[in-house]
Amino acid sequence: TERSLVIVKPDGYRRGLTGEVLRRIEAKGYTLAALQVTEATREQLAEHYAEHEGKPFYEPLVEFMSSGPVVVAVIEGNDCIKGFRSLAGATNPTEAAPGSIRGDLGRDWGLKVQQNIVHGSDSTESAEREIGIWFPNL
């Protein structure tokens, strides 16, 4: 089995899409191993997005991720990293396929950062690293 870290970003939380995202995760057959509503600290975001530091969207991204509560989850199931990224759809919600979370529920809001509702880990290494940032006790 495999674990992935999922975040319902502030836009998803604000729009009341948390239940819809969790519903799709559970309907797909993945298990919720941990779940919390929290306000991300600057430290957590700097660690989480370390690979993007210096990119033009980095500051807007950290600003956006600090703009309200997020829902952070650890999900579990065979190949759930790839599986959740498929559920989420392409990073750019305009291009994300209908049927995916971003394709069905997201769009371009004309801002400097893509407000794309969810985050999902992209590899087993990043999943374990990210779980350590958000759930130090797991």
Q: How far apart are CA 79 and CA 4, in angstroms?
A: 9
Pick one of 38, 41, 91, 124: the residue that binds ligand ATP (CB under 6 A): 91
Q: Which is nearer to ligand ATP, 77 or 120 (CB)?
A: 120
* 68 in Cβ contact with 10 (< 8 Å): yes
Query: Token pair for residue 65?
Result: 């991720």
Q: Is 91 annotated as a binding residue?
A: yes
Catalytic machinery residues: 119
Decide if residue 47 touches ligand ATP (CB under 6 A).
Answer: no
Q: How far apart are CA 102 and CA 17, in angstroms?
A: 11
Interface with ligand ATP (CB under 6 A), residue total: 9
Q: Which residue number has the CB closest to ligand ATP?
A: 91
Q: Is the dihedral of CA 91, 35, 122, 41 positive or negative?
A: positive
Q: Which residues are annotated as a binding site for ATP?
A: 9, 57, 85, 91, 102, 116
Binding residues vs ligand ATP (CB under 6 A): 57, 61, 91, 113-114, 116, 119-120, 122
